Amino acid sequence: MANLDTLRYTKFPLNNGSVAIPALGFGTLIPDPVATRVATKAALEAGFRLLDTSERYRTENEVGEAMQEVFKEGKIKREDVVVVTKLWNNNHRPERVKPAFEASLKKLRLDFIDLYLIHTPFAFQPGEEQDPRDANGKVIYDKAATLLDTWRALEALVDEGKCKAIGLSDVSLEQVKGIVEAARIKPAVVHVESHPYLPEWELLNYCKSNGIVLQAFAALGHSSVPKLLDDPVITTIARRVNKTSAQVLLAWAIQRGTALLTTSKTPDRIKENFDVSAIPEDAMSEITEGITMRVRFNAVVETGIPGFIPRGK
Ligand SMILES: NC(=O)c1ccc[n+]([C@@H]2O[C@H](COP(=O)([O-])OP(=O)(O)OC[C@H]3O[C@@H](n4cnc5c(N)ncnc54)[C@H](OP(=O)(O)O)[C@@H]3O)[C@@H](O)[C@H]2O)c1
């Protein structure tokens, strides 16, 4: 019998009316360029209609190539896909925002971007170096550009029409509130690490009551240790509902009202991750109430320096 469950097609309308973004998003933080191109194509073919990249990931070029190949085949059109990219920390000065955005557009081979995010709230020394360091190896921050200054430059991009919506990434609740209060164009999306070990309920509730979509990255826990995919609450539910652990985690994220990003280099897993359907309410509360461990896997939110936190095996 055909699967009539529509969870995988869930979309969240953005508060500026530009587009409704698919809950299930495919992230392209994949170090190898060939693997990025292959995985991006496989993701589109499996049904994903949101692609996430960033100037920092250095995958915009490969994502652009993969999209062009798929669009040329004629089954999927540009307007079917929500493309998200992000401004990196060395480009926070307002005068650097438009050139950085235009460079992303060019690499992605697009004439507009659906959603442009400030990748982190940390401004680094302006210049070509993405990771500027002093003689002691310490990151050089830039005190001359506030998050609001950078936000105003993103608002100007929306005015020019090449960017449909804007948002924030790796921010705290206080930082989101600051921008919401001061902005002319409110953030449409807040993109942060979130999964059952880091549910971010307070931020999610704030976003929901202010018409902002929370997009959860590392929805499967990034395969880091402790391994969320092996958590006994998740594996027990997965056996009971006849799904994989990944499918249970992705369903939990959508059913609690977040969009999400997941990534895989493996075509079979990419298909598995799109093949998501609803889990019962008792499974939802077992995850929400039964998992009490709290782990942040990615440290970027503390310093602006990207990277998952290495842990012992
Ligand atoms: N704003 C930020 O600072 C920030 C930071 C991190 C990530 N992100 C975004 O979020 C995206 C997702 O983050 P993430 O990579 O941490 O996602 P994730 O989906 O939580 O973790 C990806 C890992 O899970 C494995 N995996 C995927 N599907 C699986 C499955 N069905 N069964 C078992 N293992 C599976 C992958 O391995 P294989 O590849 O070997 O299949 C990979 O090692 C990134 O690509 C990026 O776009 C943003």
DSSP letter for 220, please: T
Domain ranges of the chain: 7-223+257-265
Tens digits of per-residue pLDDT, 147-182? 999 999 999 999 999 999 999 999 999 999 999 999
Ligand 1 pocket by C-beta < 6 Å: which residues? 27-29, 52, 119, 169-170, 191, 217-223, 229, 244, 246, 261-266, 269, 272-273, 298, 300
Give the pair of three-digit tokens for residue 259. Answer: 């969009």
Confidence of residue 313 (pLDDT cuts 50, 70, 90): very low
Q: Can you tell me the mean pLDDT for 224-234? A: 97
CA of 113 to the centre of ligand 1 (A): 22
Q: Which residue's CA is minimally distant from atom 14 of ligand 1? A: 218
**Looking at residue 4, what is its pLDDT?**
73
Name beta bridge partners: 141.
124
Mutate to test the pocket of ligand 1, among 8, 24, 29 (most ligand atoms within 8 A of CB): 29
Where are the extended beta strands (E) located within the chain?
11-13, 20-22, 24-27, 50-52, 82-87, 113-118, 163-169, 189-193, 213-217, 259-262
Tens digits of per-residue pLDDT, 263-312? 999 999 999 999 999 999 999 999 999 999 999 999 999 999 988 988 75
| Fold of the domain spanning 7-223+257-265 | TIM Barrel (3.20.20)
Closest C-alpha among 277, 259, 150 to residue 208:
259
Tens digits of per-residue pLDDT, 1-49? 456 799 999 999 999 999 999 999 999 999 999 999 999 999 999 999 9
Per-residue pLDDT at 260 exceeds 50: yes
User: What is d(CA 172, CA 166) in angstroms, rounded to the nearest whole number?
Assistant: 17
For the annotated catalytic residues, the residue numbers are 57
User: What is d(CA 203, CA 301) in angstroms, rounded to the nearest whole number?
Assistant: 14
Neighbours of 40 (CB within 10 A): 26
CA of 169 to the centre of ligand 1 (A): 16
Q: Is residue 158 within 8 Å of residue 165, measured between CB atoms?
A: yes
Average pLDDT of the chain is 96
